[in-house]
Amino acid sequence: MTAQSIHTIAPDFSQNRESNFFFSFLFLPPPKREAIETIYAFCRYTDDIVDEEADVREKHRRLRAWTAELQKALYGESRSTILNKLVGVIKRFDIPVQHFEDLLKGMEMDLVKNRYETFEELEEYCYRAASTVGLICAEVFGYHHERTKQYALNLGIALQLTNILRDIKQDAKRGRIYVPLEDLRRFGYSEQDVVNSVYNDNFRALMKFECERAHQYYRKAKSYLAEDDKPLFYAARAMGNIYYLLLLRIERANYDVYSKRIRLASPVKFLVAILLRLRNKLPKNFHRYVRTELPA
């Protein structure tokens, strides 16, 4: 990573109109939306370092440089536009820096680890890669109850598991298998089967097991969200509903994530967001007529 690239990057969230982030955060008040855009830009660029076409040593070097630049920004010594904006967000919303440090550790895991022996190992990755983002956003949204942070944490794991199940084929092409090896053995499905996109009864049984695990985290997340924090977490709930629908589509496709990538069309994502927004503004006795509340 050159000094120039660190100092000038400023990814434009608004241009990524196909992203789940875009539709989920569409109706946030401007100050919070701008903060989320800055956080998203930081996450997107960090993720791109890991996924770019370069050898692992170069990726490590770029990630270390990016991490060091964040530390400089925290001390007011960086010339990076995006990192200086990020530090402004951190200070304004009093976001623990530890969440960003854990996120960077999650990105580093993708450079040093391409297999997970147990679910406990994978859960740690999901926390670092996704729950950290949820906890960061929670500080921007605001909350009345400390337990709501557990909503953000568990929803992050649910979203990451959904991503993993949807992207098994794409990740295998990058040499990564996130599904725990202990689960592969349990269902008689090999690493080579993953690489070769073998779709059979064993794979369907494996996917049913993994999808149920994701469902458990969606349910667990919802159990922590207090009623009076729901309006504050509209954006997170919209994101959760979008990803939950992706999980349902995986199941309705009989777990065939190999023949085509499971996705939601942009109008569907917009409809999910707008219906949840509408539901939030209706009197409670009207909620039964607008059934948009999914387990997220």
Does 15 reside within a domain?
no
**Domain tally for the chain?**
1
Does 48 reside within a domain?
yes
Does 2 reside within a domain?
no
Q: What's the chain's Rg over C-alpha atoms?
A: 19
pLDDT at 116 (0 to 100) = 98
Q: Which region, left, alpha or beta, applies to residue 162 given φ > 0 means left and ψ of -120 to 50 means alpha?
A: alpha
Q: Residue 1 carries which side chain, given as an amino acid letter? A: M
pLDDT at 32 (0 to 100) = 92
Range of the domain at 163: 21-289
The predicted model gives 68-89 an average pLDDT of 96
The most confident of 24-33, 231-240, 286-295, by mean pLDDT: 231-240
Mean pLDDT of the chain: 88
Q: Which region, left, alpha or beta, applies to residue 11 given φ > 0 means left and ψ of -120 to 50 means alpha?
A: beta
Does 240 reside within a domain?
yes
For the stretch 242-268, pLDDT in tens is 999 999 999 999 999 999 999 988 778
CA of 262: how far to CAs of 51, 103, 163, 276, in Å?
20, 26, 10, 22
**What is the CA 65 to chain-centroid distance, rounded?**
23
Does 132 reside within a domain?
yes
Does 6 reside within a domain?
no
DSSP characters over 61-101: HHHHHHHHHHHHHHTT----HHHHHHHHHHHHHT--HHHHH
Query: Nearest CA to 37 among 29, 6, 110, 276?
Result: 29
Does 8 reside within a domain?
no
Does 27 reside within a domain?
yes
Assign residue 199 the CATH number of its domain: 1.10.600.10
pTM assigned to the model: 0.87
For the stretch 217-230, pLDDT in tens is 999 999 999 999 99
Residue 280 CB burial class (10 angstroms; 0-12, 13-18, ≥19): middle
